Amino acid sequence: MIQQKQSNEYDVILLGSGVGSLVAGTLLSRGKLSVLLLKEKGYEASFTKEGYRFIPFSNGSEKIIRAPSAKRLFQMLTLSSLGSSKTDHPSWGQEVPFQIILPEARIDLFCDRAQMSSEWRREIPEELPRVEQFYREMAYERSRLRREESREGSLPFFPLRPPSMLHRLLPSEPPLGLSLFTKEFRAFVHLQLMAWGSLRPDRFATSLAAYLLSFDEAKEWVSDVDLEEMKGKLLTDYLRSGGRVEEIETVERIYKGWMKGVAILLSGNGKILRSKFLVLNAPLHRIVNLPGRKGKRLSRWAQRVRPKDVLFPFFLGIQEKVVPVGMRDFVISLRDYEKPYEDGNLLFLALSPKGDEGRAPKGKRALTVESLVPWETYTERWDEASASEHRAGVMQHVRHLIPFLEDHIEFMDCDQGNQLIRHWSYPHFHYESTAPFVWREGLIPTRLSRNVYLAGNQNSPYLGLEGEALTGWMVAKQILRRK
């Protein structure tokens, strides 16, 4: 049946238009391979309304780039500017990348260690010696990683590395231990780990925590990142290098066994595309019917890292004068230690930069509020009543953070978030791992089968945007070696 339909042949097909596939596509097209990127028709990663522009996000790493390896990656891809479109240069080394608000504490995450110590002294004085000892241990672990990074010939996608049997035979790394600390400090650490990635920090290795909690790289951080602008630059370079883009509804089926790789049947028009390699950059639980290694379906890997929560975005246009003094542009707020993360108890808030008229009219700010909804609840029990109850909980929390908000809201849009989540390209989830993992090698390998690769945030969700970008780089290098 396949041979009777019109087909198009490529060296590589990319399913999904996230950062991972754009990085891979740019490198592959520069390597003189024919590359086609399949983008979901009708899905827009940003939302505009009444002069406001909102960008949903998975974690803080999509607002703040903190890792030297990610910076080097984008520089190598000729993305000279990673900052906001309001300036010609990025905002390097911000004093406070973000802020954590706890039930009885507000802690600014300063880049400078001395200033950070003053925060701990003010908010958690009773355990200051233990906290400082904790960060000395984190600094030691980070220095051990840095020594490996500085070795001549080290991999350019550090800290990730290809899977190795030798590494798996080594003793397992000790898990992060916080049992001796108060619930305030435990929450402070867990929220930081969640800020940099998309994995619940239940079983993090000490070295992974040290990598994410490092304070000594302030000059490397870039704030006010416009993710869509960054993706636009990658897309421009990809197209300039000869890559192609095609919008599709969805993929109906992937056939394996074609002599040169895979055959892809598109939904709706019956069109068939063929390629030697297929690179996936979409949440696995949305595409589990595609085949995996040895004819098995991708559900094997989808079960290994499952969505725990979907990040539900609320979009608010507000007046600048209502923003409390001292509130940062990126905020994580936990209202009750005893409650779970749902029902608006944990919020991630992103304000458009003050004075940036490309994202909000003059004197106003675009406020994106991300709340966690258990994925099981959303897929099985989500209806108008539960949505209304959740919205009420979220807004109660927001009004607690921003007094007098009701008098200064231009509008609030909840429906658009629900529409975005229904698309298979929607990437904003928090995951849980069902099996032990070596964090340097990822939860899921980049190569799923002979011709199928994964370049998304499910490879190493705890590294956030950095992990997705570096995974795309690794996939491209693997394919280029096999071309």
Per-residue pLDDT tens digits of the chain, which is 483 residues long: 334 344 589 999 999 999 999 999 999 999 999 999 999 999 999 999 999 999 999 999 998 877 666 666 666 676 544 444 444 434 444 567 789 999 999 999 887 778 888 888 888 888 999 999 999 899 888 888 888 777 655 567 788 887 776 666 666 788 898 999 999 999 999 999 999 999 998 889 999 999 998 765 545 567 777 889 889 989 999 999 999 999 999 988 888 755 678 888 898 888 899 999 999 999 998 887 665 444 466 788 888 999 999 999 999 999 999 999 999 999 999 999 998 888 899 999 999 999 999 999 999 999 999 999 999 999 999 999 999 999 999 999 999 999 999 999 999 999 999 999 999 999 999 999 988 888 999 999 999 888 899 999 999 999 999 899 999 999 999 999 987
Which pLDDT does position 416 carry in this prediction? Answer: 94
Report CA 59 to chain centroid distance, whole Å.
Answer: 5
Bridge partners, residue 248, by sequence: 40
Domains plus CATH for the chain?
Answer: 2-43+226-304+437-482 (3.50.50.60)
Strands (E), 418-477: 429-433, 452-454
User: Rounded to whole angstroms, what are the CA distances from 245 to 234, 235, 236, 288, 467?
Assistant: 13, 9, 11, 23, 24
Structure tokens at 474: 């690794």
Average pLDDT, the chain: 86
Backbone angles phi, psi at 453, to 5 degrees: -125, 160
Which pLDDT does position 357 carry in this prediction? Answer: 93
> CA–CA separation, 88 vs 79, rounded Å?
12
Sign of the CA dihedral with 83 first, then 86, 89, and 92 last: negative
Q: Which parts of 58-177 fold into alpha helices (H)? A: 68-76, 113-123, 128-150, 165-169
- DSSP string of 453-466? EE-STTSSGGGHHH
User: Rounded to whole angstroms, what are the CA distances from 250 to 296, 302, 365, 482?
Assistant: 21, 19, 35, 28
Backbone angles phi, psi at 414, to 5 degrees: -105, -25
> CA–CA separation, 213 vs 141, rounded Å?
11
> CA–CA separation, 319 vs 408, rounded Å?
6
Residue with tokens 């009708």: 42
> CA–CA separation, 255 vs 160, rounded Å?
31
Neighbours of 462 (CB within 10 A): 28
Bridge partners, residue 97, by sequence: none
pLDDT digits (tens, 9 = 90+) for 388-421: 999 999 999 999 999 999 999 999 999 999 999 9
